Amino acid sequence: MAHPEDELRCPRCQTPYTEGQEYCLECGARLPARAGLVAVLGSSWRRRLGWYPGDWIWPALLALVVAAGAGVVSAVWLADTSSSANDTLIRTEVGPSTSEPARTAPEPTTTATTPTATGTTRAAPPPPPPPRQTLATWPAGKNGWTIVLDSVPTTNGRIGAVAEAKQALHLGMKQVGVLDSAGFSSLHPGYFVVFAGIYDSQAEAQSHIIEAHRHSYRGPYPRRITP
């Protein structure tokens, strides 16, 4: 069946997508950027840094600049207010004092005796070792979203995927685990999927991709997980 000419389709798997979508929901490929100022800024970002957190970064940066400007204005206003208050206090306190301090009788001094401890003091026990980090397990029957860090062919064995997941835990990633794609209808069979995070929506998963970039992962993408 012929597709409409103006329908947007993924260049890798030809799955239709809507305007404004960054990743293909079928194969996870990054979709072509939209035209406009945001797209130009995003392309410049990718050329300089090699990755792009998403279009949400521009409103966030604008809000940060506005907050910084408001902070500067508040600091200047508080400095002026503090200076005026100090001038008023100095003018008020100038002049000889007409009252003498009240004299009070000296209080009797007492010598406090400190009991001496006898015996041998025991050293505090060492703190318990930190809890061992374990891989996360996808909840049974859970229909949600996650961030795919890597996909390892099942022919290479599960050991390599588990090693990558433990490395992600060591780097500081949260809720890291390994999925066998054959057990999920939304994944292509034949892969061990190293995932990070268990989310209820695509937007929630998308907002945590920048965390994966901070831990040196170059190609993470959100993915729907359907049992």
Q: Give the residue extent of every domain in the chain.
A: 144-225
pTM over 0.85: no
pLDDT of residue 178: 93
Cβ-based burial of 15 (10 A; exposed 0-12, middle 13-18, buried ≥19): middle
pLDDT of residue 196: 92
pLDDT digits (tens, 9 = 90+) for 63-114: 888 888 888 888 887 777 766 655 554 454 545 454 555 566 556 555 555 5
CB 189 within 8 A of CB 106: no
pLDDT of residue 5: 46
Residues of the chain with pLDDT under 70: 1-7, 33-43, 45-47, 49-52, 54-56, 58, 82-121, 127-132
pLDDT of residue 129: 57
pLDDT of residue 179: 92
* Three-class HEC string of the chain: CCCCCCCCECCCCCCECCCCCCECCCCCCECCCCCCHHHHHHHHHHHHHCCCCCCCHHHHHHHHHHHHHHHHHHHHHHHHHHHHHHHHHHHHHCCCCCCCCCCCCCCCCCCCCCCCCCCCCCCCCCCCCCCCCCCECCCCCCCEEEEEEEEEEHHHCHHHHHHHHHHHHHHCCCCEEEEEHHHCCCCCCCEEEEEEEEECCHHHHHHCHHHHHHCCCCCCEEEEECC
Residues 37, 55: Cα–Cα separation, whole Å: 11
